[in-house]
Structure 1
Amino acid sequence: MDDGFLLFAVLAILASALSGPVALVVALRQRSRIRALERRLAGLEAGPAPVAEPPLPVPEPRPAAPAVPPPAPKAGAVPAVAPAGPPEPAGPSFEERFGTRWTVWAGGLALALGAVLLVRYSVEQGVFGPGLRIAAGFALALALGALGEGLRRRLRGAAPAPAVWPDVPAIVTAAAIAAVFGTVYAAHALYGFVGPLPAFAGLAATGLAAMVAALLHGPALAGLGLLGALATPLLVGGGGSPWPPVLYLPVVTACAYAFAWLKGWRALAVAGAAGAAAWCLLLALLARNGTAVQVHLVVQQALAALIFAVLPGRGVPDEAARLDRGAALALAAWGGVALAVLALTTPAGTVAGWAAASVAVVAVPAAAGFVAAPAAAGLPVAALTLAGILVLWPEVGTADEPLVLLWHGARDPVLLLAAAGAAAASVAVPGALRLLGGSRLPYSTALACAAGAASTPLAALALADLRLAAGEVSPGFAVAAGAFAAAFCGLAALCRRQGDATPSAALTLGLGAFASAVVASLCLGLVFALSGASLTPALAGAALGTGWIARRLDIPALRWCVAGLGAIVAGRLAWDPALVGPGLSPTPLLNGLVTAYGLPALCFGLAARVIRRPGRPADAPEQVAQALGLLLGGLFVFLEIRHALHGGDLAAPETSLPEQGLATLASLGFSLVLTRFSGPASSPVIRFGGLAFAVLALAQGALGLGFVANPLLTDEPVAGGAVVNDVVLAYLLPAAAALGLAGAARGVRPVWFVRAAAGLGLALGFLGICLAVRHGFQGERIGLDRATGQAEWYAYSAAWLALGLAALGWGILRGSVIARLASAGLVGLATLKVFLLDLAGLEGPLRALSFLGLGACLIGIGLVYQRLVFAPAARPEA
């Protein structure tokens, strides 16, 4: 049987199967419409209803009727309710969805698939030659285009496309566009009728024509044209050279932006930007010519900045120039794309072109923020982009060379300094000019300008020092920091002078920002000139100075600068918590840890106190400063413990019992202090910081003291005498601290926290007592593999009973149920040991003494409970 006949039969069967339901739906709709028309026709034939004529006016005046009050509502009657507003329109019914939407979408898809299947069938059957197939494809596309235009003129004319229903003319025209794309591609890729350049031009022209037609048919057609135009280089190829798509894609994106701006189609502009960004990343991954990719990046970034930042904010007066979130998001997104492309196109040879592109991608968002005040967020975005570029700057070394900080040097240091200076100037100068010339700017906009102008040179200087000086003493960078301090001092003087003439919040903010930059520059210069060990002390000192200036000049926005500096320090710690090099002095306490961790912790702690707002809850800047003060303070204490116990070697692979014990004790001490300052009105950092240190102490005690450094498991020697030794230091002191924390936390922390702290204290105390007993009998080494004598075995029972009695006394004295329950557990454990183990393990008088002592303790405990804990109430006298 012929395949064509079989295909025709299948289609006929499908049509017959679908015709019944479709005909039923159509008949029902037509029936309801016919009934409505019949009712309207019957009403017209009956004529209008007779209307009574109004009575003639009577000339005699009538007395006014006395006002009668409305009758009072009866009991239980429901008062009349004023009619509500018009009901909200109900959603479309199934019939409306089926008839107005689904059929249209399915019809458009059927048209496109029908054209594809027709071409495929003709190819499989060999009905027509290649030339005739291509001609038929163009004819079908032309027919569909003509049909779409005819339907548009007949159905809606010049009216815009409907917003509720799918537009039938647009769907038909979209099918025509798809047919043209498919035909042109087939003419090039399948049959070779046209070469790459004519196919490229044809596909591009089709995509642009679709966007032009979208002016009549709506944004969906523009999206289809944009998609086809962006896919054209992938369909045709560029012959191995990236320049054809690099020159072509900005034209497509610009057209999409122009149509979007003309018609207000924001989604089309976002789609164009997303396509341009995707092409930037794809070219960076595939192309070998980095220069072409970087040119494409800069052009596309400039177009996006123009359409999303400059044009929406151009001409807005200063007093109304609030930050545009859309512009900020677009500029930030393109900053991320720029860093990704630059990272993927790092040159193997000279970096001149790469450096030029780097300066350009920094200058674009800065220029947008200067030209359009609502896009001032582009200045901080440019500062972050510059920081990322300096991090990504090509290295000179190989993996075999020793790693200096984070990099193996920097290629072409002079060019790095020149690029960093040019890029920093392209941000700082526009920011300062916008701030000095815009005294009426809103606070947030002025803050963005001040942040860009003040932070960019400092970030560039700090990162350039890291890349070139590798943390060593650098007089040249110290001189540069002094020059920056002088420049910032001059800008602060200009802001003060202009603010005295025309007072404004923006100029006061500029004064505070530049004054803080002076402090930060001096701190950087001090680090560069003296130690060069770490930037953390300089940033912490700058945060303290900024907080003092914020309080002195009453500039609330500078408090957020403290938070920003804290965020940089936090990022530095997250990247590499080791703020000291390998050449750390072995002197306990007085070593490089003081300047690397202790001094910054003190600075952030003082900064949190300086920027505190009396009578108000702690806000984000204060919490950031508090968190960093606690974090750096904790690291300082823990590292000092490790430094002192390992001879200055922080990277020692082993640990010890005193280290684990002192670390647990330090964690409990931090938690205890924070609990003392905690309360309902305290900062969340104080509350959660105390909780975090307690959790750390719990983990340290359970893992470190329970398993890792437990001398019972490691058989490591226990130093010290019978009373003062490592066991007392590592177990009994933390146990006392945990019990003290439980007492201090009552009424302040949740019940589970109090119980956990008490449980940790009892567990460490129990383990410490057992180890102390074993140390007293065994000596330095108390491993499990060593024999246990009868006297030692008896001593455990006595120690457990003594600890249980102490817990009972504490529970009765302080009214602690937890302590009394712990006492019951210890006494029960001792009882089980005596009956199950001592009876068989002990001999002679020790066995008898064990039972005698246990019995006396149990009877005494019973009397205590009867008399003190559960004593019956006194009977009233008769």
Structure 2
Amino acid sequence: MDELVFYAGLAIAALAILVSGPVAIALTIAQRGRIAVLESRLAAFERMPPAAAPTLEAPASRRQPEPARENLRPAPTVPPIPKSRPDPVAKPPRPSFEERFGTRWTVWVGGIALAFGAALLVRYSVEAGYFGPALRMASGFALALGFLAVGETLRRRLRGTLPVPATWPDIPAMVTAAGTVALFGAIYAAYALYGFIGPELAFVALGATGLAAMVLALLHGPALAGIGLIGALATPLLVGKGGGSAWPLTLYLPVVAASAYGFAWFKGWRALAVAGGIGAGAWSLLLGLSAGDASTAAAALIHVVLQAALAGLTFALPHHATTAEHARPDRATTAVLFAAALTMLAVLGLTVQTGYGAVWILTALAAVVIPAAAGFLVMPAAAGLVVAGLASSAVIILWPPEPGLHWDSLLIRLDTTDPGVLLALAGLSAVGIAAMGGLRLIGGGRLPLATALIYAAGAALAPLAALSFAYLRLAQASVSPSFALAAGVLALGMTGLAAAFRAQRERTPADALTIGFGVFAAAAVAALALGMVFAVSGGSLTVAMALAALGTGAIARRLDIPALRWCVAGLGVVVAGRLAWDPMVVGGELGQMPVLNWLLVGYGVPALAFGLASRLIRLPGTKPDAPPLIAEALSFLLAAFLVFFEIRHALHGGDIFAEDSGVLEQGLMALSALGFAAVLVRLDGVHHSAVIRIASLAFGVIAFAQSLLALVFAVNPLLTDEAVGGGILFNEIVIAYGLPALVALALARTAQATRPRWYVLAAGGVGMILGFLALTLTIRHGFQGAQMGLDRETSQPEWYAYSAGWLAFGLALLGYGLLRHSLTARLASAALVALSTLKVFLVDLAGLDGPLRALSFLGLGAVLIGIGLVYQRFVFAPARAT
């Protein structure tokens, strides 16, 4: 024991020497600097010229009277003497590497090293067992107080003696920050590791330390606050969590975050507040990830609620006195509320299996209440209502299923635990958000347009989203009269709100009242659409949202409310997200009748609704902006899905989920895509829409790729030997290859003036390839029958037929090229003729015998001579005549 005391004393002495050396050097430099400053000031004073004697002004009584102005002659104009420009102030030289190393990096690294050294010393003393718990805690407190004393001494001795550049780190602040970190760690260890103090005293001690650090930061600047925050957040990781329990952190970390927020609020250090929020969020996720039992999960949930409330209070409260006319949305507050809600939802998801209970439900409610309260109480934080609506929908999705069930691929079509509690939470959230938004709108006639629109969006969309997700979780996308009744009640409530806003607008016209009237009227239409889906078809939220978009567009056009156009765009984004999640917006019970089935309702009605809505919300005389373009794009997308699924429904007996696909189906898909592209190219010439232009390019590229990959390789009957239905002239080949070839050639001709050259050449090339395959497969079908694989024997008449057919096709292309003055068609004709020539010389010469060989060569020769004659007389005749 004596040796241990001796070594401990030796270690303390060494530490004192290490600390006193730099301190002595700093004090010496400070004294030398003071003397140098005084000497420079004295030398400057001695070099100053003697001051000129002041000119005395004559008394007023002795002044001569001013002569009359009319007797004065104008004095000759003397050009002013140009003043010499002062010499430009030389910019201070950039600090050298040595200066940066010696004045900045060493101080920053040294401060961080002191902070971490204090925590590591505590940890080492615990692991080595050199001292007892009491002596360890005494050493920790002594080290912390020593750092604080040295920092204060340095502040008094060094501060104000030399003009220190602003870019240099503050040495007294660094030492004081290390003492603050050590004090945090010592108090936490006294509570969590050794049990010297209880939770009440620990809370008081940590709070007092935070207040003391705030006072010290006022003296030392933000560096102390930043270093102290880093050290305080890292202390639990270095020292330990106190016997493996997460509850001490639930007390400790909010105190640290509150201290950081206090510094930031009092001094305007927003960066410190952001850093504190990031640290609090990271710890919340870490606690959620480590929640292995109910107790740890409850601690993580309580911690994340406290941190979210602190963050929302810190960033929203400074705007509480903002008047209505100046209440523009604050981006920083919105981002903080969104991040806080997202963190709470993440912890809810991480603890749903182990921590579901009263604390989990209250945390889910807090995820909605905290942003909603901030948005209602502080007008620049109006987006909090939208965040609350998103959080309410996410809580419904995250709500745990019944025990024994697992999440499926869609996450939401499952039975739920405590459905009554889920309905109560969803209902209260929806009603509360709608009421808050309505009160702000009806009482805030002077609100800026953006703020009023945000309040309106939150108040109208949150109840609709809550009803939709609750229906999917509880009714599982089936017919539900109860949810249809709930949708009717919601529509009635929205109608009442719209009527109230209309009456108020007639008494005191205001933009906020007009927006509220239009948005709640559109929400009533949306609720009725939802009720219709719940009562009749079930599951097709796409239909409801599309009808709601159409109703909103009609209201925006009728009442001349341009802001409602963005509600249509918002509904369009929801529908796009629904399609991205699951393109099969309707179930498997579609009916057996081709075309006239439930697909027309699931895709046709939304396509028509968004198409009409895009026309209703387009502003006349202006270039189309985002809302009509979004609606137009969704209209095209839904129409494409309708055609795609109708083809599968018709060819697979009503089963759109069939795994196989044949040549006829792929041909119809290519025909549809090429047809879409051709029609859109025509429409673009009339409407000049960016969406139509992009959609025509997209459909064309998809059709080109699908035609080459599927029709040429994947389902080609020559390669698959699958049976081809139909007769000799009218069969699946004509539909799958011939019709797409004609449409592709038509697309190439239509797109010449408005599309890139690569697009035109690709369309023409696809048309030529498909036409060539259509001719070749038709010939083989005529000789082989339904099955025509390459492994089957080819007769001599069939070989001859290929030569004749290809030459005839080439002549047809040549005639078209001459009539239409198309160089592309003439080049394609030349390629076919060359192919026929090679075939005759390489194949027919060896494979044919008798008259067929002679006829093959005779026919080829006649055709080639005729082509040469045509080129001489019609193609190049004008050039020769010239």
Flag whether TM exceeds 0.5 (same fold): yes
Instruction: For 2:421 and 2:41, locate their aligned partners in 1 and report how far apart those are by CA, in whole Å.
Output: 87
Superposition pairs of residues 766-785 of structure 1, within 5 angstroms: 766-785=772-791
Which residue pairs with 2:639 in the alignment?
Answer: 633
Matched, 1:765 2:743: no
Q: What letter matches 2:153 in structure 1? A: G
Change (3 A) 1:330 1:199: closer
Offset of 1:94 from its aligned partner?
4.4
* Structure 2 residue corresponding to 1:259, chosen from 257, 263, 287: 263
Determine if contact 1:404/1:470 at 8 Å carries over to the other structure.
Answer: no
Partner of 2:313: 306
Contact 1:369 1:379 in 2 (8 A): yes
Displacement of 1:583 after TM fit?
2.2
- 8 Å CA contact 1:536, 1:600 repeated in 2: yes
| 1:294 corresponds to | 301
**1-side partners of 2:122 and 2:351: how far apart?**
43
Equivalent position SS for 1:506: helix
Tell me which residue corresponds to 2:3: none
Tell me, yes or no, if the aligned pair for 1:211 and 1:221 is still in contact at 8 Å.
no
Paired positions, count: 845
Q: Does 1:147 align with 2:154?
A: no
Instruction: Provide closer, same or farther for how the CA distance between residues 130 and 359 of structure 1 changes in structure 2, counting only shifts above 3 A.
Output: closer
Per the TM alignment, residue 272 of structure 1 is displaced from its structure 2 partner at its CA by 1.7
User: 1:172: Cα distance to partner?
Assistant: 2.5
In the alignment, structure 1 residue 105 sits paired with structure 2 residue 111: no
Name the SS of the counterpart of 1:650 in structure 2. Answer: coil
Residues 1:539 and 1:124: Cα distance change in structure 2 (over 3 Å): closer
Q: In terms of mean alpha carbon deviation, does 491-500 or 402-411 score higher?
A: 402-411
Indicate the residue corresponding to 2:176 in structure 1.
173
CA 1:69–1:871: 2 relative to 1, 3 Å:
farther
SS in structure 2 opposite 1:613? coil
Q: Deviations over 1:716-739 (max 9, x none)?
A: 111111111111100010000000
Alignment of 1:696-775 (within 5 A): 696-775=702-781
Q: Does 1:577 align with 2:580?
A: no
Matched, 1:586 2:589: no
Aligned-partner SS, 1:765: helix
* Match of residue 843 from structure 1: 849
Contact 2:178 2:228 in 1 (8 A): no
1:498-537 mapped onto 2 (5 Å cutoff): 498-537=504-543
Shift of 1:699: 1.7
Closer, same or farther in 2 for the Cα pair 1:81/1:786, shift >3 Å? farther
The code of the aligned residue for 1:735 comes to A
Q: Which moved more, 1:461-470 or 1:585-594?
A: 461-470
| Equivalent residue for 2:391, pick from 385, 396, 412 | 385
Is residue 211–residue 222 contact of structure 1 (8 Å, CA) maintained in 2? yes
The residue aligned with 1:664 is 670
1:418 aligns with 2:424: yes
Q: What is the aligned counterpart of 1:546 among 543, 552, 558? A: 552
Contact 1:718–1:727 under 8 Å retained in 2:
yes
Match of residue 4 from structure 2:
none
- Unmatched tracts of structure 1, length 5 or more: 72-78
* C-alpha deviation, 1:121, in angstroms: 12
**Amino acid across the alignment from 2:306:** V
Q: Residue 830 of structure 1 is aligned with which of 818, 827, 836?
A: 836
Q: Which moved more, 1:831-840 or 1:396-405?
A: 396-405
Which of 471, 474, 482 is the equivalent residue of 1:465?
471
Counterpart for residue 76 of structure 1: none
1:789-804 alignment runs, 5 A limit: 789-804=795-810
Q: Name the CA distance, whole Å, in 2 between partners of 1:545 and 1:469.
A: 26
User: Are the structure 2 counterparts of residues 366 and 769 from structure 1 closer, same or farther at C-alpha, using a change threshold of 3 Å?
Assistant: same
1:336 aligns with 2:342: yes
Distance between the aligned counterparts of 1:483 and 1:121, measured in 2?
A: 66
Paired residue for 2:224?
A: 221
Contact 2:600 2:642 in 1 (8 A): yes
The question of whether the paired residues in 2 share the 8 Å contact of 1:161 and 1:218 is answered with no
CA distance in 1, matches of 2:716, 2:242: 69
**670-679 or 180-189: bigger deviation:** 180-189
CA distance in 2, matches of 1:475, 1:119: 66
Match of 1:492 among 493, 498, 513: 498
* Alpha carbons 2:549, 2:572 under 8 Å: kept: yes
Q: Greater CA deviation, 359-368 or 172-181?
A: 172-181
User: Do the aligned residues in 1 keep the contact of 2:590 with 2:654 (CA within 8 Å)?
Assistant: yes
Q: Quick one: structure 1 residues 65 and 160, their matched pair in 2 at CA, closer, same or farther if it must change by over 3 Å? A: closer
Alpha-carbon distance in structure 1 between the residues aligned to 2:223 and 2:864: 87
Assess if the C-alpha contact under 8 Å between 2:676 and 2:699 holds in 1. Answer: yes
2:281 to 266, 277, 282: 277
Shift of 1:86: 6.4
For 1:472 and 1:110, locate their aligned partners in 2 and report how far apart those are by CA, in whole Å: 63
Alignment match, 1:75: none
In 1: Cα distance, 2:881 partner to 2:585 partner: 71
Q: Residues 187-213 of structure 1, C-alpha deviation per residue, up to 9 Å, x if partnerless?
A: 9999x7979979999888766644442
TM-score (norm 2): 0.86
Contact 2:118–2:181 (CA<8 Å) still a contact in 1? no
> Structure 1 residues 443 and 184, CA, compared in 2 at 3 Å: closer, same or farther?
closer
Please list the CA deviations of residues 202-242 of structure 1 after superposition, one character each: whole Å capped at 9, or x if unmatched.
88876664444222212222122223333444434244544
Distance 1:583 1:335, change over 3 A: same
Q: Which residue identity does 1:857 align to in structure 2?
A: V
Taking the aligned partners of 1:799 and 1:557, their CA distance within structure 2 comes to 62
Take 2:549 and 2:253, find their aligned partners in 1: how far apart are those partners? Answer: 46
RMSD: 4.2
Q: Provide the C-alpha distance between the structure 2 equivalents of 1:449 and 1:35, rounded to a whole number of angstroms.
A: 61
CA 128–404 in structure 1, closer or farther in 2 if over 3 Å, else same? closer
| 1:9-158 map, 5 Å | 41=43, 48=49, 66-67=76-77, 91-94=94-97, 96-105=99-108, 108=111, 141-156=144-159
State the shift of 1:249 in Å.
2.6
Distance 1:295 1:732, change over 3 A: same
**Is residue 298–residue 355 contact of structure 2 (8 Å, CA) maintained in 1?**
no
Are the counterparts in 2 of residues 323 and 444 from structure 1 also a CA contact under 8 Å?
A: yes
TM-score, normalization by structure 1: 0.87
CA distance in 2, matches of 1:684, 1:400: 44
**CA positional deviation for 1:252:** 2.5
Structure 1 residues 70 and 679: CA distance shift in structure 2, 3 A? farther
Deviations 1:469-490 (A, max 9, x none): 2222222222221111111111
Q: Pick from 817, 826, 830 the counterpart of residue 820 of structure 1.
A: 826
SS in 2 for 1:678: helix
What does the per-residue CA deviation read over 1:569-616, in whole Å, with 9 as the maximum and x for residues that have no partner?
111111111122222211111111011111111111111111112222
Deviation, structure 1 residue 111: 6.1
Q: Secondary structure at the match of 1:166?
A: coil
Task: Determine the C-alpha separation between the residues in 2 that align with 1:661 and 1:46.
Answer: 98
- For residue 653 of structure 2, give the secondary structure of its aligned residue in structure 1: coil
Which residue identity does 1:587 align to in structure 2? M
Deviates more, 1:831-840 or 1:666-675: 831-840
